[in-house]
Structure formats: structure tokens, C-alpha cells
Chain A
């Protein structure tokens, strides 16, 4: 059973489009995250939710809007996609200290 799952795995789209990435965790964790990995493999936190409440927003552009319908799901919607948004987006969840990551969604904006 996959602990943290994301869909889609690959996403190719044109500039200006709007797209969403879905994430689900079956670990029963209270906290979920979105991390971004850029082309140089650098990983940085974008958002953190605790029990559906936004906790961390790391100065991410307003075009990125996370939504948590329940504590097992955290979706990421991106408006007006730009070339610089091309990256791998990882969903993650944690309970206590340890963070578990999903397989990632590779977003390519052309």
C-alpha cells in the first residue's frame, strides 16, 4: 500500500494554463506538506497544513493555492503557469518528527 500518493506523476502543459496536483496519505498523519525540487535538485518547503489548517506558507506566489479538504488530502492548484514553475513537486506527511514523501509530480511548462 502506498503511504503518500500523488497524481499525476508527469504533467506537461503550456504557459498560462491552470493545473492541479492531488495528494493523499493513508498514514493517519495530521500534517501534510508541499515541497518543490528545482532543476538543480534543491528541495524547499512551500506549504504546510496541520489538520486542514494552513501553517506554513514560504513566500510562494499567490498563483499557488493549496487546498486540504480533509486531513488525508492536500491538493495544489497552480494558476497562470510560468516557465519557472517547471520542477518536481513532492507531497509529504508527518506525525511527530519524521516526514514521508510521495513519489513526486514532474511539472514541465512549455
Chain B
């Protein structure tokens, strides 16, 4: 069974500071990895994904993540935080459901990012 651990349920940074949100995964097969963002009272928006191509993945809104197989990590970073980045961030791992031709996402518990002026 796959699992995702997000270290830190709450991360607080100052505007302009580096954002680092940590994600570690457990998977018996090469994983597909995702970061989603959820703004208050909204749905989940895909930030970026790793699908076994380049290990450094660039996403929307200036975010990027690096897949490190040796560390089983997929940490999300952004060089300079904006107030608009304040949201809940979810890391997820996907496995292929061979019985039914679809992918099932297993999520971490989320990290709430607050950005201080």
C-alpha cells in the first residue's frame, strides 16, 4: 500500500521568503507524484506532477518540486512567497489500479501555508 507523509501540518513564512513544504512517500513501484493546492472554500488545483520524466518539475505560480528516489521525497519549493500563496497544500501519490484502468490518489494530510506581511 502506498502512503504519503507531509512533515509539518502548518508552515508560516514571511512574504518574500523561501517556501519549503516537505513530502515523503512510500511506494512499491515507481510512483507518480503530485502537489495540489486548495484555497479556502475551493476545490483542488493541480500545481505540478512527476511522471518519471525530469526529476525537477516546474509547476504553476512559480512552484517547483524535486523527485529524489534515494530519499523517497518530493518536496515543494518556491523561492519567494507571495501573500496569494496562502492555502492548504496536498502531496499525493498515484498508483495504477490494474484491475480497472484507472489511477487512485493517496493523499498526505496537507500542510497549511500562511504568509506573513
Contact = CB atoms under 8 A, between A and B. Distances in A.
B95 to A, nearest CB: 11
Contacts of B94: 97, 99
Nearest to A94: B103
Given A101-B44, A103-B43, A55 B99 contact: yes
Contacts of A48: 97, 100, 102, 104
B60 to A, nearest CB: 13
A8 B110 CA distance: 25
B102 A100 contact: no
Given A99-B105, A104-B42, 11 more contacts: A33-B102, A41-B109, A43-B90, A48-B100, A48-B104, A55-B101, A94-B103, A99-B46, A102-B43, A103-B43, A106-B41
Interface residues of B, number: 27
A47 to B, nearest CB: 10
Chain A at the B interface: SS class: strand
Interface of B is mostly: strand
Interface in B35-87: 36, 38, 41-46, 49, 51
B107 interface: yes
Contacts of B107: 42-44
Interface of A: 30-31, 33, 35, 40-45, 48, 50, 53, 55-56, 90, 94, 97-104, 106
B53 to A, nearest CB: 11
Contacts of B51: 97
Given A97-B49, A104-B43, A41 B102 contact: no
A57 B17 CA distance: 43
B46 A98 contact: yes
A26 to B, nearest CB: 15
B68 to A, nearest CB: 20
